[in-house]
Amino acid sequence: MNPRDIWILYTMELRSALRERAIVVYSILLPIFLYPVMLWVMFSGMTFIQGLNEGFTSRIALLEEAPAGHEALVDSLEARDDVQITRELEEEEALARIREGELDAVLSFESPGGDGAALPENFRTVVRYDRSESRSRTAGSRIEETVERYRDRWMVREAEALGMEEADRVLFRLASEDVSTEEDMGAMFLGMILPLFLIIMVAMGCFYPAVDTTAGERERSTWETLMTTSAARIDVVAAKYFYVATMGVSAGILNVLAMFVSIGAVMAPLLGGEGGISFRMPLLAVPVMIAGAAGLALMLSAAMMILASFARTFKDGQAMIQPVYIGAILFPILIGQQTDQTLTTGIAAIPVANVAMMVRDAINGIFLWPLILQSLAVNLAVVGLCLWVARWVLQFEDFLMGSFDGSFWRFAKDRLGSGRKEEEETA
């Protein structure tokens, strides 16, 4: 291998890539801006909807007045600024209006039935609303809140009249305490989200460069130009590979940095405002994440380049590497469901999954060094396998000249199955 030639080809590929809009957008701008913008939009949207819900008046139909002695319940409901009571509606008409969106809830009172019927002044409050409509759900909540507050006040008053202290009437009360720290909660949320984002961004960062430098090169007819230069084939492939991996790693790192910058400002309020979440991360997590992103980028670049190099057009190339992209995203999604799982020997042996898990562990301050090293070794072994496959594929002239019409899988099946390897091999 000639490092000088690799460097010349590598810098040419990078320069060329940085002038291609799609690559700049998907490998650089998107990793930086997509998720902060997405989180900001989500936060703004939720705040806006919350504001709307809090701002509107709930239109409630009262089918009958409250039972005798409990008139104060309806009074307290009517006293609310965010509730408007409508009377003199029949049940059927009121329910029809809810369905049409002209009313938000219907309130009625009935006998409690069963043992509860024996108690004097007891009654059941019935609230009907449309759970599929946020406005109607809010109306239901407002009624429930008012009724519960009225009931609590009534019970306190009645208990006092009977001479009962609070300790006498409240038994077996549950007291639970969350012992997690703000940092624990932040790490849990980051651990669920960051591995997924990191892997998506690395995969996306590799995706367009891998297609552009293989199928795109064939489509533009620059492949044969390159083949006639004095650079060795292996140097050409190495330079292209390093270029795609660089784009993948930089996309991953840019995404992580962008997430750090934006997460405190955007995600903290989204997940609970001032109460209980702090997005801090051990400093040691950063090199672990970078190592994981680099290993992943090297692996995905190799796999994507092999598959895309069989395509004759950019579009075909995209279709051929789509399965790798989807496969890479599935692992972190599945692992994200198991928040109490840490890196094990078994998971460390599964490419992509091991990166997702070691990144999550690092965010949680867990550094299982032997397993982290095992994960990196497994990923490098996969890279080695991919490079061996690439070298094998490069031996065939119909691949080099682009005259083979089919995918990598068909190519491998043909060559390994028909025994024509010796005949067609030229290296």
Partner 1 sequence: MNTERATVSVRDLKKFFFDESRGEVRAVDGVTFACQPGEVFGLLGANGAGKTTTLRVLSTVLKPTDGEASIMGHDVVAEPEAARESIGFYSASTALYPRLTARETLIFFARINHYPEARIEERVEALVDRFGIEEYGNARVEKLSSGMKQKVSIARTIAHDPPVLIFDEPTVGLDVLNALEMVKMIRELRSEGKTIIFSSHIMSEVEKLCDRIAIIHRGNLLALGTLESMREETGHHYLEDIFVDHVTRAEGLEGAAMGVAGELEGEEAP
Chain residues in the site for partner 1 (CB under 8 A): 5, 8-9, 12, 15-16, 19-20, 220-222, 224-225, 227-232, 397, 400-401, 420, 423-424, 426-427
Instruction: For the CB of residue 309, give the shortest distance to partner 1 in the complex, in Å.
Output: 16
CB-wise, 293 or 393, nearer to partner 1? 393
Nearer Cβ to partner 1, position 322 or 418? 418
The answer to whether 5 and 231 are in contact (CB under 8 A) is: yes
In terms of CB distance, is 239 or 300 closer to partner 1?
A: 239
Minimum CB separation from partner 1 for residue 28, in Å?
16
* Nearest-angstrom CA–CA distance, 365 and 186: 12
Which DSSP string corresponds to 202-214? HHHHHHHHHHHHT
Nearer to partner 1, 222 or 278 (CB): 222
Query: What CA–CA distances, in Å, run from 197 to 204, 258, 357, 386?
Result: 10, 11, 13, 24
Q: Which is nearest to 364 in space by CA: 176, 181, 177? A: 181
**Spatial distance between the Cα atoms of 258 and 44, rounded to a whole number of angstroms:** 19
- Separation between Cα atoms, residue 277 and residue 274, nearest integer Å: 7
Nearer of residues 4 and 157 to partner 1, judged by Cβ: 4
Which CB, 227 or 326, lies closer to partner 1? 227
Separation of alpha carbons 344 and 356, rounded Å: 12
> Smallest gap, in angstroms, from Cβ of residue 417 to partner 1?
14
Rank residues 122 and 395 by Cβ distance to partner 1 and give the closer one.
Answer: 395
User: What's the closest the beta carbon of residue 263 comes to partner 1, in angstroms?
Assistant: 35
Residue 38 or 401 having the CB closest to partner 1: 401
| H or E element at residue 124 | strand 124-129
Minimum distance between the CB of residue 403 and partner 1, rounded to whole angstroms? 9
Cα gap 324→76, rounded to integer Å: 61
Distance CA 318, CA 54 (A): 47
| Shortest Å, Cβ 246 to partner 1 | 17
Q: Can you tell me the distance from the alpha carbon of 372 to that of 288, in angstroms, rounded to the nearest whole number?
A: 8
- Looking at the Cβ atoms of 18 and 126, the one nearer to partner 1 is 18
Query: For residues 246-279, b (16+ Cβ closer than 10 Å) or e, as one string?
Result: bbbbbbbbbbbebbeebbeebbbebbeeeeebeb
Phi-psi region of 232 (alpha: psi -120 to 50; beta: other; left: phi over 0): beta
Smallest distance from partner 1 to CB 242, Å: 15
CA nearest neighbour of 86 among 113, 57, 110:
57
Nearest distance, CB of residue 18 and partner 1, angstroms: 9
Closest CA to 361 of 331, 380, 340: 340
The least distance separating partner 1 from the CB of residue 22, rounded to whole angstroms, comes to 12
